Amino acid sequence: MSSLPNNLKQIAFFLQRLPGIGEKTANRLAFYFLRIPQDDLEEFAQNVQELKEKTKMCKICLNLTEEEICAVCDNDNREKTTITVVEDVLDLLSFETGNIYTGVYHVLHGKIDPLNHVGPEDIHVKELLRRLENESKVKEVILATNLDMEGEATAMYIKNRIHDVHEKTKKSFKVTRLAYGLPMGANLEYADYMTLKRAIEGRNEY
């Protein structure tokens, strides 16, 4: 890249910092910027500059929003009795795309991951506990962290901390976890044995 114009080089360097983008891809993408109309480039540049200033965390659930309260929490049709706890906003979006869920959320913005030095105090668990202590309407907390090791550890940690809230406030809301089992369209031949084990353990009357 040594002989290239500086702007192009700098754009490629920046793109290399994004996850999953290596040197070759970054170069290819940077060149592609040259083909995009100047107006669109200017608009993009402005969005990038203002991004942090205009993006806030919802005061209730920590979802990302432009206002004080996010669109989900601000929607009177959402059931405030059920809170689904997710690791990040992309997980929240997965629930939202399907229109499969009518409750509200709490976004942790991370998961407990000791190998990467992320402890319980580094993610937003205490905001969840404070919310559970102060809100009276909550009937159920659904732990929807991912099903990998860190997600499991995070769910387990939160479950224990919610137990403390139960003891302290004498509130009796439920704590649930997403169901384990075979995904839709699964082929048993290719299922891993842990998933199969969970699918047998969790079998339902038919």
User: Closest separation between CB of residue 17 and a copy of itself, Å?
Assistant: 7
Considering only 16, 22, 27, 177, the residue that binds a copy of itself (CB under 8 A) is: 27
User: Closest separation between CB of residue 148 and a copy of itself, Å?
Assistant: 17
- Residues 30-59 vs a copy of itself: string with x where CB under 8 A? -xxxx-x-x-xxxxxxxxxxxxx-xxx---
Greatest CA span in the chain, whole angstroms?
69
Q: How far apart are CA 23 and CA 175, in angstroms?
A: 45
Q: Which residue type occupies 119?
A: G
- Stretch of 9-17, 115-123, 167-175, 180-188 contacting a copy of itself, by CB under 8 A: 9-17
- Stretch of 89-97, 122-130, 141-149, 180-188 contacting a copy of itself, by CB under 8 A: 89-97
In the complex with a copy of itself, the residue whose CB is nearer, 19 or 185, is 19
Considering only 16, 29, 80, 124, the residue that binds a copy of itself (CB under 8 A) is: 29
CB-based burial of residue 111 (10 Å sphere; 0-12 exposed, 13-18 middle, 19+ buried)? buried
CA angle 90-151-200, nearest 5°?
Answer: 110
Tokens representing residue 20 in the block = 């999953």
The answer to the question of residue 79 lying near a copy of itself (CB under 8 A) is no
Q: What is the 3-state secondary structure (H, E, C) of 85-131?
A: EECCHHHHHHHHHCCCCCEEEEECCCCCEHHHCECHHHCCHHHHHHH
Considering only 11, 61, 85, 112, the residue that binds a copy of itself (CB under 8 A) is: 11
- What is the spatial order of strands in the sheet that 174-177 belongs to? 103-107, 79-86, 140-143, 174-177
Query: Contact residues for a copy of itself (CB under 8 A)?
Result: 1-8, 10-11, 14, 17-21, 25, 27-29, 31-34, 36, 38, 40-52, 54-56, 63-66, 70-72, 88-90, 93, 96
